[in-house]
Amino acid sequence: MKLKLVAKHVGALGIAAGLTIASFSAQAADTIKVGVLHSLSGTMAISETTLKDTVLMLIDEQNKKGGLLGKKLEPVVVDPASNWPLFAEKTRELLEKDKVAAIFGCWTSVSRKSVLPVVEELNGILFYPVQYEGEESSRNVFYTGAAPNQQAIPAVDYLMKEGKVKRWVLAGTDYVYPRTTNKILEAYLKSKGVKQEDIMINYTPFGHSDWQNIVADIKRFGSAGKKTAVVSTINGDANVPFYRELANQKISAADIPVVAFSVGEEELSGLDTKPLVGHLAAWNYFMSVDNPANKEFIAKWKAFIKNPKRVTNDPMEATYIGFNMWVKAVQKAGTTDSNKVIDAIVGLEQPNLTGGVSKMLPNHHITKPVLIGEIQEDGQFLTVSSTPNLVPGDAWSDYLEGSKDLESDWVTLKCGNYNTKTKKCLGAAAK
Amino acid sequence: MMIVTSRFFKLFIAACVLCITASSSFAQEDTAASESPKDFAGLVQHLAIGSLFERGETVKKLADLKDQRSTTIISALEQGTLYFDSILNKVAIKNETGNFFDAISQSAISSDISNFKKIPVNNSLRNQLRSLLAQLNLSSEDESVRLSAVKRLLADGLDDDSATILNEKIKTEKNKNIQSSMTIALALYQLKNPDEKIRITAVDQLRGSLEPEARSALTETSTSDESQAVRNTAISALKSIENTVSYYRFAENVFFGLSLGSVLLLSAIGLAITFGVMGVINMAHGELMMIGAYTTWVIQQLFPNHIAYSLLIAVPTAFLVAGAVGVAIERGVIRFLYGRPLETLLATFGLSLILQQAARSIFTPLNRAVSLPEWMSGSMVINPVLSITYNRLYILIFGIFIFILLQLILKKTSLGLKVRAVSQNRTMARAVGVRASWVDALTFGLGSGIAGVAGVALSQLTNVGPNLGQAYIIDSFMVVVFGGVGNLWGTLVSAMGLGIINKFLEPYAGAVLAKVLVLVLLILFIQKKPKGMFPQKGRAAAD
């Protein structure tokens, strides 16, 4: 009798214990973790901090809609501090320790290149929201920022046609993105008949602050009688002393216009924009685009960040598109498993904030419109030119020898760098 | 859907009726009633509507009116002070004080101005406006306006009409500068004249000119002109111009080198005192400069309406703040580590990390925007090839001033006397009654204070953030090691020298490689003269 009682009690205890353990593990599996990998300090903090806040806002909004697959989304924010090797370390931490379902991060191409081997090794997913130089297409990365054919080439076309520019200064920060973009642009300009002596290329380190002689050289290069423009791939806070020096040496946009690829509303908010009026930027989104979806996004952003003076910019829109595409892909696949999400996401469409609909292509790029804008006194852009349709992103530039035969297709060819001439996959093919 | 469209349709009809009645009433007021407006008031109203291209056309018509008021309107549009209120249907100009004036009637607008939107222009329209304004401004009363008008005509190139106008104006022009610019513009025009003699006279007139347009026109003439004589004259004129230009370019490079040198001097001179006089390796020196830069920002936040004076207030404040931090470092950390250079290096390195993180916590990791006072922006144009930016010029003068001040302190004050005594022979100085430990603290404070003042100068040139110190610490040590630790003159010579070498290498090697080369040259120099250029002499300095 006593044994039966004891057995009953033990049984009850066991069931209770089992239930508790089960509920614990259910609680532990109650959230989906999302990694946020943006520099919150260092030379790139001026550009990247706002993207961290954007992801937090999107997660918050998604949770208000009921989360994803019935679970709440939980952000895991790390600060790689503009330190490129630290980006790789933090990625490993996010994927191995925190087991995030997807990472939204990186800005500079060197940070992305550092992260790439880690995210491929651990089969994670990275959404990269910034314009870049192309020449890459990884199975684990989704490039929601502009490829050169969605930003650099159309900007040069605009300057050649509308600006009647004949001489070109390609000024950039010394790392992979400006170097590769300038290679592409140099090849493109030469293919359009521009001579070598009409192209001046210059590189400076991150954070460079002594622009005196470089700007004097630009001034000199521009007074040879032909209309000159500067194509700037200068990144980070080096832009501040650069534009200041342009203003001090009295180079106005009407004399030598500067079109920048890495200067948006966020960077302008820290500058005195009066002397910069008329200088240009090429993006796929401007805060000033008049559109109900954009107005709603801006209102939500200002309410979330509790500051009516904050601005929105192109990488924020790219983050928005990437995040929503990821949510749709997870819902379509029914799981956050990387392989299933990667297969589900190609072909998905997401309305962007400028009135069009972006689509995820087999090369893991999206379709985007190209907008050229002039800086206004209030730090906003006035759109002076835009493509009528959305341009599909091309990972492998048609203007470089090593890449014009390459194609990326992760759906049918299952390869990121497939040589169409030799019919061979140059890199690791998908399994 | 149906309701919306019918409502919209009704609104559309109403708008059409309004437009028709408005334009018909307009037509009744004007003497010339036509589709596109032809009179001043009509054209001004038309400016506010339509595409950028249409705006360009309207501006041309406004200029053709030859109305004095057109010039005001066009220059307002170019400067971005022309506004339009679509509800009141008024075009207004905003003057410097922020008041709006009706563009047509010149009367002040006192009613609600919140609906006024700026009339937008883009770069090509701005170019068009500048050229138009140049032609209109030729008859202006203001000399500087006339001069910039002539310079713009020079840059754009003359056509037959503007050449005739200039030929008329040059006879009555009293100002020498404007007259010579007019001569150059006319000479450039004459380079296309079919008469060979006139072309040669034109080339001779362009001989001394440093304007870039003159140079490019002469280059073209020297290669493509049909007459051999004209080509030869052009070639010789070009040669003399190129000589003058290269002389001025050299002077410009020297100025760039000196201005970089002055920044290095300001950064290094504080270190020269602490390292040179006391033998203390202070790795937190960059952070003391950062403290000075942040002090400037704080002063600007406290007195937002006095940006012009903010720097004058910031200099002594930064000196005191950074000096106080320096004394605290000396009393708190360095005092215990005298004679142990490695430990001092480690301790001060740790301090620099603490100070950086403190800055991140207090001021956030993002850069802080320091405004530049009006008198620091812009440049002084000496001639078309040489212009000197004011901020660099003032920092150069300021650097030399600080250097002289420091020399005076060290040579003429009693503190300076005690500092020199302690650095030459500590035991002897103590024996004659100098309080060596206090002198150490004050010397460190002086060096740190100067670093703070350097930070104020740096805030005008570069971004103010927690990493500001790291960008300048290596350069500061380079200057002190190169110059030798005995002598402040060594610091001056080495700072200016390194600045000039860097700036002369930059055009050939690029910014990154120039820095590398300078470091390599420095290492080679140190092999030969380990104590630097001006080493300390005397028996006490034997080690």
Task: Tell me the pLDDT tens digit for each residue of A121-135.
Answer: 999 999 999 999 999
Q: What is residue B21's predicted lDDT score, i.e. its pLDDT?
A: 46
Question: What is the ipTM metric for this complex?
Answer: 0.79
Taking only the tens place, the pLDDT of each residue in A247-266 is: 888 888 888 999 999 999 98
Sequence length of chain A is: 431
- The band of B511, judged by pLDDT with boundaries at 50, 70 and 90, is confident
Distance of CA B373 to the CA centre of its chain: 11
- For chain A, give every domain's residue range: 31-146+290-369, 150-283
Q: What is residue A11's predicted lDDT score, i.e. its pLDDT?
A: 63
| CATH code, A150-283 | 3.40.50.2300
- Rounded to the nearest angstrom, the minimum Cα separation between A82 and chain B is 11
- Residue range B302-327: mean pLDDT, rounded: 92
Query: Which among B52, B379, B467 has the least Cβ separation from residue A248?
Result: B379
Query: Which among A216, A225, A245 has the least Cβ separation from residue B216?
Result: A225
Query: Cβ contact (<8 Å) for B387 and A244?
Result: no
- Rounded to the nearest angstrom, the minimum Cα separation between B260 and chain A is 8
Is A427 an 8 Å CB contact of chain B? no
Q: Where are the alpha helices (DSSP H) in B191-226?
A: 196-205, 212-224
Q: What is residue A140's predicted lDDT score, i.e. its pLDDT?
A: 95
Q: What is residue A26's predicted lDDT score, i.e. its pLDDT?
A: 45
- Residue range B29-47: mean pLDDT, rounded: 64
User: Taking 60 as the threshold, does the pLDDT of residue B518 lie above it?
Assistant: yes
Distance of CA B40 to the CA centre of its chain: 40
Is B80 an 8 Å CB contact of chain A? yes
- Topology (CATH) of B248-370+395-528: ABC transporter involved in vitamin B12 uptake, BtuC (1.10.3470)
Distance of CA B22 to the CA centre of its chain: 50
Query: Which among B126, B366, B391 has the least Cβ separation from residue A45?
Result: B366
Same fold, A31-146+290-369 and A150-283: yes
How are beta strands B386-389 and B379-383 bridged, if at all? antiparallel
- The band of B27, judged by pLDDT with boundaries at 50, 70 and 90, is very low
Query: Cβ contact (<8 Å) for B365 and A214?
Result: no
Query: Cβ contact (<8 Å) for A41 and B466?
Result: yes
Interface-testing mutation among B156, B246, B389, with chain A (most A C-beta atoms within 10 A) = B389
Summary mean pLDDT of chain B: 83
d(CA B265, CA B458): 12
d(CA A234, CA B368): 20
- Residue range B400-427: mean pLDDT, rounded: 89
Is A244 an 8 Å CB contact of chain B? yes
Is A161 an 8 Å CB contact of chain B? no
Residues of B in contact with A277 (CB under 8 A): 80
Q: What angle do CA A383, A387, A392 make, to 5 degrees?
A: 130
Query: Cβ contact (<8 Å) for A202 and B510?
Result: yes
User: Taking 50 as the threshold, does the pLDDT of residue A27 lie above it?
Assistant: no
Interface-testing mutation among A248, A255, A371, with chain B (most B C-beta atoms within 10 A) = A248
Interface-testing mutation among A38, A40, A41, A250, with chain B (most B C-beta atoms within 10 A) = A41
Is A307 an 8 Å CB contact of chain B? no
Q: Which amino acid is at B262?
A: S
User: Taking 80 as the threshold, does the pLDDT of residue B1 lie above it?
Assistant: no
Is B212 an 8 Å CB contact of chain A? yes
Residues of B in contact with A240 (CB under 8 A): 367, 463
Exposure class string for B512-523: b at 16+ Cβ within 10 A, else e: eebbebbeeebe
- The band of A25, judged by pLDDT with boundaries at 50, 70 and 90, is very low
- The band of B94, judged by pLDDT with boundaries at 50, 70 and 90, is confident
Is A121 an 8 Å CB contact of chain B? no
Q: What is residue A430's predicted lDDT score, i.e. its pLDDT?
A: 55
Is B122 an 8 Å CB contact of chain A? yes
Q: List, as ranges, residues 427-486 from B with C-beta within 8 Å of A.
A: 461-463, 465-467, 471
Give domain A31-146+290-369's CATH number out of 3.60.21.10, 3.40.30.10, 3.40.50.300, 3.40.50.2300: 3.40.50.2300
Residues of B in contact with A271 (CB under 8 A): 369
Q: What is residue A338's predicted lDDT score, i.e. its pLDDT?
A: 94
Chains A–B, number of C-beta pairs less than 8 Å apart: 115
User: Taking 90 as the threshold, does the pLDDT of residue A285 lie above it?
Assistant: yes
HSE-CB at A91 with a 13 A cutoff on CA atoms is 30
User: Taking 50 as the threshold, does the pLDDT of residue A96 lie above it?
Assistant: yes
- The band of B177, judged by pLDDT with boundaries at 50, 70 and 90, is confident
User: Taking 70 as the threshold, does the pLDDT of residue B3 lie above it?
Assistant: no
Q: What is residue A280's predicted lDDT score, i.e. its pLDDT?
A: 94
